[in-house]
Amino acid sequence: VFIILTTAHDPLTVNVGFSVLAGITTWSAIPALSEIFVKAGLKGMDLSKKTKHIIPESMGMVAGLIYLVTMFLFIPFPFMKWFTASNDGDLHELKLLTFPNLKLAELLSALLSIQSMVFLGFADDVLDIRWRFKMPLPAIASIPLLMVYWVHLGVTHIVVPIPLRPILGQLIDLGALYYVYMGMVAIFCTHSINIMAGINGVEVGQSLVIACSIAINDMIFLQSASTGAPAIETHLFSLYFILPFIGVSLGLMIHNWYPSKVFIGDTYCYFAGMTFAVVGILAHYSKTLLLFFIPQIFNFLLSAPQLFRLVPCPRHRVPRYNRQTNLMEPSRVVLDEEEDFEVEFSSTKQESKRTLGRSPSSVSLSSAGAAGASTQDSDESPTESSNPPTTIRLQDLRPLKNSKLKRSGWYCVKILEALGLTHVRYDSKTGKRPLEMTNLTILNLILLKAGPMSERNLTISVMVVQFCCSLVAFFIRHRLVAFVYDV
Ligand code: UD1
Ligand code: MG
């Protein structure tokens, strides 16, 4: 408090002080509130542990509330010089004339958007809102911010990369589409963190790497910008939002790290995503922001066939915990059943018709017992069931007419398999009917490529991937950019 009072003339120092306090408060408040959350029914089962224990969920609410309180207390500081000006009549007039109302509106609307998402995340934790309803809500929550953006900055053009300038010119004005794009950024940031989730510490871990990348990017800009440059203000504002976020996330991370004592819930995922979207929009660097989301963009594209239901999407796609080894393995989703069926390719009916006699009960196909199923398979027909055909023939790509997969889903499975992004298990007799595939998430893909690992190491791997992608993002933003933009 002493430091804050003595340095009150510098908002950034105050913000750093507040961020540290917010972190310590979050860290100490969570254990004190855990029991209250459990009593209120806000609890969840840790899916990847030997003993299935229940721990408090939605602890992102505590982090979100402490963040909001911190930001509310911080509101006066960027405007301190207007408060401390003399109350002398003329000066008071001057104060009213020069007060940056739009800056204050920016700050307030940003907080309103973040607060709305904390509220929505909590509602999702309590009510389990359906995807089709919750999907567009972040765009709606960003309307107050976009409104202020329209009045204050109103920049809707994008600078065309140098190689494309002969065709498109130097600037393209996207007009209203720019606002649609920013709404989509808000939707993407919030949901992409929520679908890269489900193992201890991974949601907070990825958010911390992104937040630190944003803060470093702001600091690089502030270091290199010439005094009085207009973007200094926006990057400072970005830091004001991101530093307290790093503070509360660190406080939460200590309890959410493996083995988790609390879950963060959808509340934290939405809160984190909206905070990132807000700084990206306010500081007018949504493209740089998206560079820090490379793993999330990849995870979203990989997940798309399941999200858009081209292939089945189970309630949980998190990696599967193996009790015997205490390691995480890729989880699988059931695509079809092994049963009596006729192999009939959709385009050449007569050409390859075969009848098989096989009992439906001979292979267990529960998604939770995927490893068990493959063990059983290996007893029966080790080569055919677990290994996909080594050479891909055109005929193999053709969907089976009586497959339960949609035609589009069939092609997705085949393409993803060919790209090595999923492992498909085929029926044991013909080796043509896909029965199971590994769930389409980056977590399962890491396990597929690197082999089974502990839950803790999987979280660390995700953070390392996120960190490496941030390095690539910095390289693109601060080095490669010189080839495509005038900097
Ligand atoms: C999203 C994912 C889902 C994933 C889930 C995990 C999509 C479309 N949805 O769903 O596949 O399984 O997140 O959060 O990709 N849990 C743990 N350990 C953890 C964190 C969570 O076991 O470290 C479990 C707990 O049972 C907790 C539950 O996940 O109760 C929370 O799931 P929830 O956030 O409600 O799932 P969604 O966000 O709907
Ligand atoms: Mg979730």
Q: Which atom of ligand 1 is least distant from the CA of 48?
A: 22
Work out which ligand 1 atom sits closest to the CA atom of 307: 8
CA of 57 to the centre of ligand 2 (A): 10
Q: Does ligand 1 have an atom closer than 6 angstroms to the CB of 57?
A: yes
Give the phi and the psi of residue 383 in degrees, each rounded to 5.
Answer: -75, -45
Q: Which pLDDT score is estimated for 393?
A: 59
- Site to substitute for ligand 1 among 47, 137, 257, most atoms within 8 A of C-beta: 47
Picking from 264-273, 282-291, 305-314, which range would have the lowest pLDDT averaged per residue? 282-291
* Inter-residue contact 487 to 479 (CB < 8 Å): no
Structure confidence by residue, pLDDT tens digits, 130-186: 988 999 999 999 999 899 888 877 778 777 777 778 888 888 888 889 899 999 999
Please tell me the number of the ligand nearest to residue 42's CA. Answer: 1
pLDDT score of 85 more than 80: no
According to the model, what pLDDT value does residue 372 have?
A: 34
Q: What is the mean pLDDT of residues 297-321?
A: 95
What is the pTM for the complete model shown? 0.87
Does residue 266 have its Cβ closer than 6 Å to ligand 1? yes
Which ligand 1 atom is at minimum distance from the Cα of 265?
Answer: 34
Residue 66, helix vs strand vs coil: helix
Give yes or no for a contact between 318 and 48, defined as CB atoms under 8 angstroms apart.
yes
> Which range has highest mean pLDDT (12-26, 69-83, 148-162, 418-432)?
12-26
Question: What pLDDT, on the 0 to 100 scale, is given for residue 461?
Answer: 98
User: What local confidence, expressed as pLDDT, does residue 344 receive?
Assistant: 52
C-alpha pair distances (Å), 402 with each of 308, 399, 428: 22, 9, 17
Task: Give the pLDDT band (50/70/90) at residue 188.
Answer: very high
Taking 90 as the threshold, does the pLDDT of residue 348 lie above it? no
The pLDDT of residue 172 is 83
Is the separation of the CB atoms in 253 and 29 below 8 Å? no
Task: Tell me whether 0.85 is exceeded by the ipTM.
Answer: yes
195 lines ligand 1 (CB under 6 A): yes
Q: Using a 6 Å cutoff on CB, does residue 46 contact ligand 1?
A: yes
Of residues 406 and 258, the one with the higher pLDDT is: 258
Nearest CA to ligand 1 atom 9: 195
Closest CA to 110 of 267, 218, 323, 271: 271
Region 76-98: what's the mean pLDDT? 73
Residue 328: strand pairing partners: 321, 453
Does ligand 1 lie within 6 Å of residue 47's CB atom? Answer: yes
Looking at every residue in the chain, the average pLDDT score rounds to 84
Query: Ligand 1 pocket check: which of 133, 316, 462 to mutate, most ligand atoms within 8 Å of Cβ?
Result: 316
Give the separation between CA 293 and CA 291, rounded to whole angstroms. Answer: 5
Tell me how far apart the alpha carbons of residues 66 and 168 are, in angstroms, rounded to a whole number. 47
3-state secondary structure of 435: strand
